[in-house]
Amino acid sequence: MIPLGGLGEFGMNCMALRWQDDIIVIDAGLMFPEEELLGVDIVVPDISYLTENRSKVKAIVLTHGHEDHIGGLPWILSELNVPVYGTEFTLAYVEGKLDEHRLLDDADLIEMLPGKRFTLGPFSIMPIRVTHSLVDCVALAIHTPVGVILHTGDFKVDLAPPDGKPFDLQAFAELGKNGGVLALLQDSTNVDRKGWTPGEKAVRPRLDELFAQTKKKLFFSCFSSSIHRVSLALELAHKHGRKVAIIGRSLDNSSEIAQDLGYLKVPQGLIINPGQIRDFPPEKLCIMISGTQGEPMSALSRAAVNNHKFAKIDAGDTVLMSSRVIPGNEKSIYRVIDHLERRDAKVIHDDGTNGLIHVSGHGSQEELKLMINLVKPKFFIPVHGDYRHLKRHIELAASTGIPEKNILLEDGEILEFTKDTATKNGKVTTGRVCIDSGGSIEVVEDVVIRDRQHLSEDGIILPIIAINKRSGKVESLPEIVMRGFGVDDPQVIAEARQIVQRTLESSNIEEKQDYGVMKEKVRNDLKRFIQKSTSRRPLIMPVIMEI
Q: What is the pLDDT of residues 468-492, one digit of tens each?
A: 766 767 777 888 888 877 777 788 8
358 annotated as belonging to a binding site for a ligand: yes
Q: What is the pLDDT of residues 217-259, one digit of tens each?
A: 999 999 999 999 999 999 999 999 999 999 999 999 999 999 9
Residues sharing a CB contact under 8 Å with residue 249, sequence separation 6 or more, in sequence order: 290
Indicate which residue of 151, 308, 349, 362 is catalytic. 362
Between residues 518 and 51, the one the model is more confident about: 51
Q: Give the pLDDT band (50/70/90) at residue 504.
A: confident
What is d(CA 383, CA 401) in angstroms, rounded to the nearest whole number? 19
* Three-class SS state of 402: coil
Is the CA virtual torsion 249, 253, 255, 256 positive or negative? positive
Q: Where are the beta strands (DSSP E) in 373-489?
A: 377-383, 405-406, 413-417, 422-427, 432-436, 442-444, 460-467, 479-483
339 annotated as belonging to a binding site for a ligand: no
Q: Give the pLDDT band (50/70/90) at residue 439.
A: very low
Task: Residue 201: count other Cβ atoms within 10 Å of its Cβ.
Answer: 14
Q: What is the pLDDT of residues 450-459, one digit of tens each?
A: 777 777 777 8
Of residues 448, 478, 532, 409, the one with CA closest to residue 1: 409
Q: Which of the residue ranges 68-72, 347-351, 483-487, 522-526 has the most confident prediction, judged by mean pLDDT?
A: 68-72
Name the residue ranges covered by the structural domains of the chain: 2-196+360-443, 200-349, 459-546
Decide the pairing of beta strands 109-111 and 147-151. Answer: unpaired
Q: What pLDDT was estimated at residue 444? A: 64
Q: Give the pLDDT band (50/70/90) at residue 438.
A: low
- Percent of the chain whose predicted confidence (pLDDT) is above 90: 67
The mean per-residue pLDDT over the stretch 187-216 comes to 94
Mean pLDDT for the chain?
90
Q: What pLDDT was estimated at residue 136? A: 96
Q: What pLDDT was estimated at residue 352? A: 55
Residues sharing a CB contact under 8 Å with residue 164, sequence separation 6 or more, in sequence order: none
Whether residue 6 is predicted with pLDDT greater than 50 in this model: the reply is yes
436 annotated as belonging to a binding site for a ligand: yes
Residues sharing a CB contact under 8 Å with residue 106, sequence separation 6 or more, in sequence order: 77, 81
Considering the domain delimited by 459-546, tell me its CATH architecture.
Roll (3.10)
168 annotated as belonging to a binding site for a ligand: no
- Active site (annotated) includes residue 101: no
The mean per-residue pLDDT over the stretch 163-167 comes to 94
Q: What pLDDT was estimated at residue 343? A: 93
What is d(CA 270, CA 313) in angstroms, rounded to the nearest whole number? 21
- Percent of the chain whose predicted confidence (pLDDT) is above 70: 95
The mean per-residue pLDDT over the stretch 505-514 comes to 78
What is d(CA 154, CA 495) in angstroms, rounded to the nearest whole number? 62
- Active site (annotated) includes residue 187: yes
41 annotated as belonging to a binding site for a ligand: yes
Whether residue 160 is predicted with pLDDT greater than 50 in this model: the reply is yes
* Three-class SS state of 70: helix
Q: What is the pLDDT of residues 343-395, one digit of tens each?
A: 999 999 875 556 789 999 999 999 999 999 999 999 999 999 999 999 999 99
Of residues 276, 300, 159, the one with CA closest to residue 222: 300
Task: Residue 280: count other Cβ atoms within 10 Å of its Cβ.
Answer: 14
What is d(CA 404, CA 420) in angstroms, rounded to the nearest whole number? 10
Q: What pLDDT was estimated at residue 437? A: 59
Question: Domain 2-196+360-443 classified CATH 3.60.15.10?
Answer: yes
The mean per-residue pLDDT over the stretch 422-428 comes to 94
Residues sharing a CB contact under 8 Å with residue 387, sequence separation 6 or more, in sequence order: 8, 410
List alpha helices for 308-385, DSSP H: 330-342, 365-375
pTM for this one? 0.82
Question: Domain 200-349 classified CATH 3.40.50.10710?
Answer: yes
Find how far residue 268's CA is from the centre of its chain.
35
Of residues 482, 481, 528, the one with CA closest to residue 503: 528
Q: What pLDDT was estimated at residue 243? A: 96
65 annotated as belonging to a binding site for a ligand: no
Whether residue 411 is predicted with pLDDT greater than 80 in this model: the reply is yes
Instruction: Give me the phi and psi of 31, to 5 degrees please.
Output: -135, 145
Indicate which residue of 136, 168, 187, 525 is catalytic. 187
Of residues 14, 5, 16, the one with CA closest to residue 414: 16
Between residues 10 and 49, the one the model is more confident about: 49
Beta carbons of 68 and 10 less than 8 angstroms apart: yes
101 annotated as belonging to a binding site for a ligand: no
Of residues 56, 59, 48, 55, the one with CA closest to residue 24: 59
Residues sharing a CB contact under 8 Å with residue 439, sequence separation 6 or more, in sequence order: none
Q: What is the pLDDT of residues 296-329, one digit of tens each?
A: 889 999 999 999 999 999 999 999 999 988 777 8
Q: What is the pLDDT of residues 78-91, one digit of tens each?
A: 999 999 999 999 99
Q: Which of the residue ranges 40-44, 138-142, 444-448 has the most confident prediction, judged by mean pLDDT?
A: 138-142
Whether residue 440 is predicted with pLDDT greater than 60 in this model: the reply is no
Could you tell me the maximum CA-CA distance found in the chain, to the nearest angstrom?
90
What is d(CA 3, CA 430) in angstroms, rounded to the nearest whole number? 9
